[in-house]
A and B are shown apart, each in its own frame.
Chain A
Amino acid sequence: MSILDKSAFSIAESIKAGELSAVVVLDAALDRIAAVDGRPGSLGVGELSQEDKTKVHAFITLTEERAREQAENIDARVSAGETVGPLSGVPITIKDIYCVKDTPSTAASRILANFTAPYTATAVKRLEAAGALTLGKVNLDEFTYGSSTESSAFQPSTRNPWDMERVPGGSSGGSTASVAAGEALLSLGTDTAGSIRQPAAFCGVVGLKPTYGRVSRYGLIAFGSSLDCPGPVARDVRDAAMMLSVMAGADPRDSTAAREPIPDYLESLEKGIEGMRIGLSPDYMQITFPDPDTGELVRQSLPVEIREATLRAAEILAEQGAEIVENVPMPNTIYGIPAYFVVSRVEAASNLHRYDGVKYGCRTNSEFRNLREMYRKTRAEGFGLQPKLRILMGMYVSAAQYSEEYYQRALRVRSLIRSDFEAAFDPKGAYRVDALLTPTTPTTAFKMADIYGDSVLMQYADQLTVPANHAGVPGISIPGGVSDEGLPIGIQLLASDFKEETLFRVGHAFEQATADADWRRVKPQVLRDM
C-alpha cells in the first residue's frame, strides 16, 4: 500500500506525531505525478500522441520547489518539538483559477498565460498556513466555463483516471482527477453551477460546494460573483471536513465572506444520523435535455443506475436511523439552467471586461493604431470561443432593452428556486428535512469530444447541481456506486445555509455503512496496475 492511499487526516496525524516525514510524503506524490500525469497543459500543443491519451494531465504548473520548502519546514518544526498545523505534510493541488504568489495563475486562458500572481488567495493562504504542501496548479475549463475541462487553452486537457477516453468533468477537472489518481490528497476547486460536485461525481471523489460566503473569494479569478464558491475536493468526507475547517470564515478582504461561527466539523462527524430527516424529491429524479435536432427541451427519466444508486443510498441512510421523507416538492429545479444561462453570463461578461491588455495579462503582438483596436485584437486573440460566447450572451441579456425580459426575470426566478429550499428545510414547515438526497449528475462521465462544442447540452450536465448555487445553500457529492461500465456514480446531499456539518455527518454515515461494499474495491483504471 502506498502512503498516498491513506487519508489526509491520517497522514497529518502521523506527521504531527513524528512518525512520518513530510518530505517522504512529498516524494511519493511527485513519483505518482511522474508516473501518471504526462506532460502538463500548455499553449499550442498540437496533435496528441498515443502516450498522451494514457495520461491524466491534471497539471498546468508543478510547484515542486515551493512544496519542498514547505515539507522541509514541517519536518524541521516537528523535530524541534513545535506544534504544526492540521494539514501538515498533506500534498494538495490548486485549481489554476486562484492567485498563488509568484506562480503563473492562468485561469486556463491564453489571455492570462503570462500572468504571475503578486499575491495569494485567502483560501490558499489558510491551507498553506495549516501545513499543506502546494504541489501546483491544475487544469480547468477556460475561466471555469464548462463541465468537461476540454475548453482549457492549456492542452492536453485532463482525462478521467477511471477511463482515459472520458472527461473528468469540470470545470474543476484537474482538481478531481489529481485526487482520484492519488497525485494529491486534497484539491481546492470552485463551484459556480456544479464545478466541484459534477467532476467529483465523474472521478469518484468527494466534492463540497460550501454555502455562499462560507469561504472567502479573495484571490479567486471571478466568474459569477454571486454564485462562485471555493470548496474542497477530497477522497473521503473527513478529509473534506478537515479542509473546510481550515479555509472557512470571515475575511476583511472579501465583503461577502460571512461572519458565521465555524463549528467543529470533525467532532460532529461521529454524531451519527439517528432521527435526521432526509428528503427525496421527484423533481431531482427526472432530467431535461435539449433534443439534438430541434433544440427543444425534453424531459427524460434518469439513467436506471443513477436512480438506483440514489434510492439505495436512501435505504442505507434509513438503516442508520434516518427518517426518509419522500415527495419533497422542488418544482423550480427545472428552471435552474435557463436562469443560469442569464445570471451567470451577465456576471461573466462584467468580470471579463478587465482583461484588456493594459494592466496585466497578454497584449496583442500585432499592429494597432489606437486603444480601441488594441482592445479588439487583444481580446480576439486572448479569449477562447467559450468566454467569447459568454460575453456576447451576457451583454445581450443585460442590454437596456432586453434586461427586463431576461435578466430581471431570471433574478426573480432565482428567488423561486431559493424558496423551494426554504420550504423543504423550514423547521416549522410540512417537510422539515435536514438534508435532501439527490443524484449529482444526469449521467456518468461522458466520452471526450462527445459533447464539447454544444454549449447547451454541456450546460445541462449541471442541471442537478445548479439550483444550490442559485439558492446559495451547501451541497456535497460523494461516491455512491460504480456503473456496469466501471464508472463512478455520485450522490448529492443538500442542506440549509451554513449546515455543512449536516452534509458531513450524513456523508460520513453513508461511508461507514458502505465501507465493505463491493463497488468500493473498484479502482480507477490508472491505479489498477500499481
Chain B
Amino acid sequence: MMDEITTELFEHLVELAAFAFNPEEAEYLRRELNQQLKAVRQLEAVPLDESIPPASHGVTYNSETKPELREDVWEPCDNPDEILGQAPQVEDGYIVVPDIPHTKLD
C-alpha cells in the first residue's frame, strides 16, 4: 500500500509547521506518521450513525457545576517587568520582532 504521507505531502506539512529537517529525521518522522495513521485507520470500522455527536470533552457541565464567568474588570499585573523580561528582545516596554516578510498583492 502506498504511504498516505508521501514525500511531497510531508514537505508541505513541514513548510506549514515552520520546521526544517535533515534527511534522516525526515525519514523517521514520515515513517512514524504513516505508522500512526495505520492505527488511526481502525476508526473507519466504527459504525457511526447521525445521532452520535462529537465530544469536545468527556464530562458534561450543568448549570450548577459550570464555572461562573468572571466579572469583566481589569486587574493590574504586579510584575510586568518580570514578564517582559522573559522576551528575547524588548525596547521601551515593547516586544520586538524581526522584519515581517511582505508579499505585494497585484
Give the interface of A toward B (CB within 8 A): 115-116, 118, 211-213, 226-227, 250-252, 254-260, 290, 295-297, 332, 334-335, 337-339, 341-342, 349, 357-363, 368-377, 379-380, 383, 385, 388-389, 391-393, 395-397, 406, 408-416, 418, 453, 455-456, 459, 469-473, 497
Contact = CB atoms under 8 A, between A and B. Distances in A.
B66 to A, nearest CB: 7
A313 B27 CA distance: 45
Contact of A414 (B25, B58, B98): B58
Nearest to A407: B54
Given A259-B67, A341-B36, A472-B57, A335 B46 contact: yes
A376 B20 contact: yes
Interface of B: 5, 10, 13-14, 16-21, 25, 28-29, 32-33, 35-36, 38-44, 46, 48, 52-59, 61, 64-70, 79, 82-83, 86-89, 95, 97-101
Contacts, number: 192
Contacts of A497: 59
A395 B101 contact: no
A259 B66 contact: yes
Contact of B52 (A213, A376, A416): A416
Contacts of A388: 17, 19, 21, 29
Given A338-B41, A392-B29, A455-B36, 18 more contacts: A227-B57, A250-B67, A255-B69, A258-B65, A259-B64, A295-B35, A332-B46, A334-B42, A341-B39, A358-B97, A380-B19, A388-B17, A388-B29, A392-B10, A413-B43, A456-B35, A459-B36, A473-B58
Contacts of A408: 54
Contacts of A397: 40
Contacts of A395: 13, 16-17
A526 B44 CA distance: 47
20 contacts: A212-B59, A226-B58, A252-B67, A256-B67, A338-B39, A338-B40, A338-B42, A362-B88, A363-B89, A370-B99, A376-B20, A385-B28, A392-B33, A412-B55, A414-B54, A415-B53, A418-B55, A459-B39, A471-B58, A471-B59
Nearest to B14: A392
A459 B23 CA distance: 25
A372 B70 contact: no
Nearest to B5: A396
Contacts of B10: 392
A296 B38 CA distance: 8
Given A212-B59, A259-B68, A497-B59, A392 B17 contact: yes
Given A258-B61, A385-B29, A375 B46 contact: no
B100 A370 contact: yes
Contacts of B21: 380, 388
B53 A412 contact: yes
A393 B33 contact: yes
A456 B32 contact: yes
B24 to A, nearest CB: 11
Nearest to B68: A259
Contacts of B33: 389, 392-393, 396
Contacts of A260: 65
Contact of A212 (B19, B58, B64): B58
Given A213-B61, A392-B13, A408-B54, A358 B40 contact: no
A369 B40 CA distance: 39
A211 B59 contact: yes
A165 B105 CA distance: 60
A359 B98 contact: no
B57 A226 contact: yes
